[in-house]
């Protein structure tokens, strides 16, 4: 129970990678706030039924007022915030296309959630994280930031930005004793991916072929790394990005 008494806020936590990490942290004793545009309250209720301490709040991470309410809800419900995982992102609904066919609005939509959402979430939770004795921010970037995958320029750019934001935030928040690290997953069979057969058809085979460990990746494969960054064993690590992809990219 390395996270007993800690409070973790996870955006995009109702399903997929966010939900797996939420349950993993809860298993180690953390109290969980799930923030998501849909099914956040239902996901928290399901966790509570499992015996975990969880609360949910509907949140659009690209909406400043929503994110401020999220942070306030966490503090009012559980007394503070120790761990923030700004996981919410647009990916599975993106249609791959050459970069010159991406519209300005498509670019803005991806950036609003994938980068502005991270910024707003950290800013809203900063005061509470600063009061914690073990403040942690764990961003979710992606292996595409290092591989430069084609046909997803806006997504690749957004995840590269998250890597850079992680490094800069680590510098700024270090004096506050807040650690900032990032997880970079490979192609993961999350709920959203499984609901998109075309995406699986295009990405699964090349992903498997490039891995040292040639098997599918699931959200549960990220839980151990998230627990490491959230807990006391990473107390002298900040500004780092850990690639979790079965050995596709050696970072």
The 10s digit of each residue's pLDDT in 139-197 is 999 999 999 999 999 999 999 999 999 999 999 999 999 999 999 999 999 988 988 88
The CATH code of the domain that includes 98 is: 3.40.50.720
Do 224 and 165 contact (CB within 8 A), yes or no?
Answer: no
Q: Which domain holds residue 33?
A: 7-244
The confidence score (pLDDT) of residue 223 equals 98
In a domain, 52, yes or no: yes
pLDDT digits (tens, 9 = 90+) for 212-242: 999 999 999 999 999 999 999 999 999 999 9
What's residue 200's pLDDT?
87
* Rounded Cα–Cα distance for residues 155 and 177 (Å): 31
pLDDT in tens, 72-131: 999 999 999 999 999 999 999 999 999 999 999 999 999 999 999 999 999 999 999 999
At 57, the pLDDT band (50, 70, 90 cuts) reads very high
Residue 250 forms part of a structural domain: no
Q: Considering the domain boundaries, does residue 39 fall inside one?
A: yes
Q: What pLDDT score was predicted for residue 163?
A: 98
- The two tokens of residue 223 are 């839980």
The two tokens of residue 110 are: 């991806």
The structure tokens listed for 243 are 């690639």
The dihedral formed by the CA atoms of 187, 185, 164 and 121, expressed in degrees to the nearest 10 = 100
Burial class (CB within 10 angstroms; exposed 0-12, middle 13-18, buried 19+) of 171: exposed
Residue 249 lies in a domain: no
Q: What is the pLDDT of residue 243?
A: 97
Q: Say if CB 53 and CB 26 are below 8 A apart.
A: yes
Is the model's pLDDT at 251 over the cut of 80? no
- For residue 81, the number of C-alpha atoms closer than 13 Å in the C-beta half-sphere is 29
C-beta of residue 111 within 8 angstroms of C-beta of residue 158 = yes
For the whole model, what pTM was predicted?
Answer: 0.96
The tally of CA atoms less than 13 A away on the side-chain side of residue 32 is 36
107 assigned to some structural domain: yes
SS3 of 47-79: the string is HHHCCCCEEEEECCCCCHHHHHHHHHHHHHHHC
Contacts 24+ apart (CB under 8 A), 153-158: 153/99, 153/102, 154/94, 154/102, 154/106, 154/107, 154/110, 154/111, 155/90, 155/91, 155/94, 155/110, 155/114, 157/111, 158/89, 158/110, 158/111, 158/114, 158/115
pLDDT at residue 30 above 80?
A: yes
Note the pLDDT of residue 98. 97
In a domain, 174, yes or no: yes
Q: Does 83 fall in a domain?
A: yes
- Predicted confidence (pLDDT) at residue 209 exceeds the cutoff of 90: no
pLDDT of residue 198 exceeding 90: no
Q: What is the pLDDT of residue 125?
A: 98
Number of structural domains, the chain? Answer: 1
Catalytic residue numbers read: 155
- Residue 50 domain-assigned (yes or no): yes
């Amino acid at each position: 129970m390395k996270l007993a008494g800690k409070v973790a806020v996870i955006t995009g936590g109702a399903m997929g990678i966010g939900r797996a990490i939420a349950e993993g942290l809860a298993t180690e004793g953390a109290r969980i706030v799930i923030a998501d545009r849909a099914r956040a309250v239902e996901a928290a209720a399901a966790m509570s039924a499992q015996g975990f301490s969880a609360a949910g709040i509907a949140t659009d991470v690209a909406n400043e007022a929503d994110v401020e309410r999220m942070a306030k809800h966490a503090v009012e419900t559980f007394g503070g915030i120790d761990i923030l995982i700004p996981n919410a992102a647009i990916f599975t609904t993106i249609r791959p296309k050459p970069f010159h066919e991406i519209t300005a609005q498509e670019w803005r939509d991806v950036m609003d959630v994938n980068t502005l959402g991270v910024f707003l979430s950290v800013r809203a939770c900063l005061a509470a994280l600063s009061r914690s004795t073990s403040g942690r921010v764990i961003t979710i970037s992606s292996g595409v930031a290092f591989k430069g995958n084609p046909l997803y320029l806006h997504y690749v750019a957004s995840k590269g930005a998250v890597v850079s934001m992680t490094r800069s935030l680590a510098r700024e928040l270090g004096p506050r004793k807040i650690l900032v690290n990032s997880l970079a997953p490979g192609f993961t069979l999350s709920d959203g991916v499984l609901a998109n057969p075309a995406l699986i058809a295009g990405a699964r085979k090349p992903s498997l072929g490039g891995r040292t460990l040639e098997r599918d990746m699931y959200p549960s494969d990220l839980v151990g790394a998230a627990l490491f960054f959230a807990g006391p064993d990473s107390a002298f690590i900040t500004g780092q990005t850990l690639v979790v992809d079965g050995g596709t990219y050696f970072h």
